[in-house]
Structure 1
């Protein structure tokens, strides 16, 4: 029997309150507890929420596949912790929903958009981008071999081989080879800086010491040349791309950026990201989803 409207409303308000609380800035000893709770809550976005939640809360290690409620497509991830955070961020909080200016710019193309997913991880955002623009073609770039293996599996399970082109490379401002360190969403080009795993040591306790891998790097502007919409989340390696003068003449109509404090050339990552994008000819929306020196913003080319 369906629940009464008042009960449904109360349940909805409680869920929204939980999401807002778990999305607030993280401080002190509450970090691990709140992250684990957020990742368990992310299971609501799948058809097996309790199995998802228990795998997270009991710290069960392993690769699992789930059906996302909103798309009916399969996601593939590792428990516990980091992979589930992306489900929370992307599906539960809708972090990559485009603003009206971007939606209008894409409609103005008069054709299906070409989307570039830089830092595609295991493909959760890739699926959301396909939901947002169902006719889009996507180039998904992921340098971490372990992430890329799960991303390839997601593509196969959803029969998306003709829609999603996976490239297992890193991006920069020149071709070459780089060493990728870290695990899951914290994978990054190796550098001599503090990392999130240094600030939150419980991640190492749960995941163990992350393995590093040498991977090829391509010039990001070789793939930017064919993109209409770009999602850029490459854990601090974005700064050299944003500062490159070629960005002004690059093709993308819109960019959604996750900026990071690591390697930021200024004191405030949000301010610096908006400045560099405006210098490249983009208009920018307000930063959002900010926490611990990391955040997101949308940028778009002004209408002709």
Structure 2
């Protein structure tokens, strides 16, 4: 099993660790459904959430997960921090470690931020564990894990059952998406058949490892799919990329019940949030309790992050 101190990406997890985290996330989800929570295995531990980008789901779910496990949690007020006085991110990381951080959850836009944080704490001899809560377009490992867990839960499967017979279509702004990067890694590790769907401007320049096909037509891209994941359209990309408009995207690639008929009869839909309603997905489909896993994904955010923290705590001892 991986003897890791950090969670930087899904690729760093060996198969045993991946399956353990998924199994525990499902256990925690079932406990949450019953209004129960695990023993406070993080009692006395200190966690800082250091988010250089705005977040609701990820930031709060890491906070809730750690508190449910008994940790002391402090959300760093980045807008009022010394970063705005010129302090480097590495110096901020060292400052938090020097205050006794056991866990440091980091979300940042620049590529290399997570690797730099890991390097600086190890050079300085701190025992702090780093958790990647989203870095640039490179990865969002706990989102990928919770998405896999959400599908296993919906299909009433255990991790050992895997997903070899599941066809997953990921639709939208894949080129710029950290969520897509980690979803591809997580679902491909579980054997799912993955298709990427979107306009050419928003697809990767080359087909990523683990992906079966890239398709520029929504109907063809979701044809026969068991799971359809819509990604948030990053509005700042429109206008910068020639030939793209929100209205045009919604018409061609926005999910609704009518378009979902090309998928399998029992297809389920996902969205990592936040949603641009009426752009990536219609209100009716997003809120359809029979087809949408979107709210379940939010619940799995807490369950999966509890599982990750528990796994790291076991590795530290």
Q: TM-score range by the shorter chain?
A: 0.3 to 0.5
Identify which of structures 1 and 2 has the higher relative contact order when contacts are C-alpha pairs closer than 8 Å and 6+ apart.
2
Q: TM-score scaled to structure 1, two decimals?
A: 0.42
Q: TM-score scaled to structure 2, two decimals?
A: 0.40
